[in-house]
Amino acid sequence: MKYKIEYILKHSIIIQRIYKILMSFVFRVIGIFITQDESLVLFSSFGGRKYNDSPKVIFEAMRDDDRFKNYHYVWAFERPEDFAIDGAQSIKIDTWQYFKTALKARVWITSVNIERGLHFKKKKTIYINTWHGAGTKKIGNACIGRKDYDFSNVDIMLVQSEFEKEIFLRDFKCNKDAIRIIGFPRNDELFCIDNKIIEETKKELNIPGDKKVILYAPTWRDSKNGGNSYDFVCPLHMEKWRKCFSTNYIMLFRMHAFTTNFNMQYDSFAIDVSSYENLNHILAIADVVITDYSTIVYDCAIANKPFICFGFDYDIYKMKRGFYFDLNSEYPGGVLKDEDDVIDRVAYLTETNKFGEFVSFRHKYIEAGGNSTVSVLNELAQMLA
């Protein structure tokens, strides 16, 4: 029901406007009577679906930093009973307790949003938005039918490049003084992958050390049934992949956080890593990444991993969602629409190790990163002093 309501709000401009105006006013009024807690920090990631991404990295760094030893932390989840976080309380998102906590908190840190599409931030509240990737498919107000994104009250917004900065200024209505071109905290460790991590992750997933790893990680698709579900039918015919690669390879499958069902049958060759906590470790063991229009390509660039764009629905996706640039000219190898071409490309990349074109892609779209967490905490400490 919640996803259906979210779908209606996203796709009905009139209902969306009425909801935002009314509920924003209600919470601003309520906020007048709620005293702010100077030591309270509220976190969320992917709308309460996960304990991951840059908010997780920032939280764990704050928890272990003496400058923040007197602060207490709250994480908001759709299912708080599934998360027991050392050093933090878990609450249910989109409840009275959640909004009350948001009104009390001195600091908000999220990868999507805290106000849940509303506007009730207090003047003293410090709002840090790490987002979760941008650059390829259109986002925010660039999407058809969306003009409601307004992050002008965000105090710190993280991006990886001038290219992303322009997107956030235009399509999220960010304040230019809030933009920090420092990269994402979640990606800091990708700038220097430890061989020990590769060995430990393969062992944890029961992947033999001599096996090469193919990761398939597509982006999400909008609901086809009015928001009841966000299913994704895997376009890979596994009999082909087993025939070509099962002797020397393992395939990993990771669905997007917003996808509700991947419709795949897994076994010792095809392994589901959607719930594996650290995506960086999955990228570390991957020899090649197959995706589509996901921003994981920028993570691949940082980690020096070759990627393939399998755009089986490219023309439809381009028409309905749109892109910021021509993928065929910007992505190494362009957009592959045929599964057999993808298989050939995987074999070529993993057997030849010719990755020069990916280095050029990295230099163009990744300008900063590697020390983002420290930069964020140093600035936050100064703001709180």
Q: Which two tokens stand for residue 54?
A: 């840059």
Q: What is the rounded CA–CA span in Å between residue 210 and residue 204?
A: 15
Superfamily in which the 193-365 domain is placed by CATH = CDP-glycerol glycerophosphotransferase, C-terminal domain (3.40.50.12580)
Q: What is the rounded CA–CA span in Å between residue 132 and residue 110?
A: 9
Q: Which residues contact 215 (CB under 8 A, 6 or more apart)?
A: 251, 252, 253, 254, 273, 282, 283, 286, 288, 289, 290
Query: Rounded to the nearest 5°, which phi and psi values hold at 123?
Result: -60, -40
Q: Does the pTM of the predicted model rise above 0.85? A: yes
Angle between helices 53-63 and 372-384 (to 10 degrees): 60
CATH of 2-187+370-384 among 3.40.50.11820, 3.20.20.80, 3.30.70.2080, 1.20.1250.20: 3.40.50.11820
pLDDT digits (tens), the chain, 385 positions = 565 556 555 656 777 788 899 999 999 999 999 999 999 999 999 999 999 999 999 999 999 999 999 999 999 999 999 999 999 999 999 999 999 999 999 999 999 999 998 999 999 999 999 998 878 999 999 998 888 899 999 999 999 999 999 999 999 999 999 999 999 999 999 999 989 999 999 999 999 999 999 999 998 776 565 556 667 778 899 999 999 999 999 999 998 777 667 777 899 999 999 989 899 999 999 999 999 999 999 999 999 999 999 999 999 999 999 999 999 999 999 999 999 999 999 999 988 877 788 999 999 999 999 999 999 999 999 999 9
Q: What is the rounded CA–CA span in Å between residue 11 and residue 28?
A: 25
Q: What is the rounded CA–CA span in Å between residue 208 and residue 116?
A: 44
Q: Which two tokens stand for residue 46?
A: 């992917």
> Degrees (nearest 5) of the Cα angle 300, 172, 279?
25
Domain ranges of the chain: 2-187+370-384, 193-365
Q: Which residues contact 37 (CB under 8 A, 6 or more apart)?
A: 104, 105, 106
For the beta sheet containing 270-272, the strands, ordered from the edge strand earlier in sequence to the opposite edge, are 270-272, 249-253, 212-216, 288-291, 307-310, 335-336
Q: What is the rounded CA–CA span in Å between residue 24 and residue 86?
A: 33
Say yes or no: do domains 2-187+370-384 and 193-365 share a fold: yes
Give the closest residue to 283 by CA, choosing from 268, 293, 273, 292.
273
Looking up tokens 């600091």 gives 107
Decide: 223 and 244 in contact? Cβ < 8 Å.
no
Q: What is the rounded CA–CA span in Å between residue 75 and residue 43?
A: 5
Give the closest residue to 50 by CA, choosing from 218, 298, 256.
256
* Distance from the first to the final alpha carbon of the chain: 43
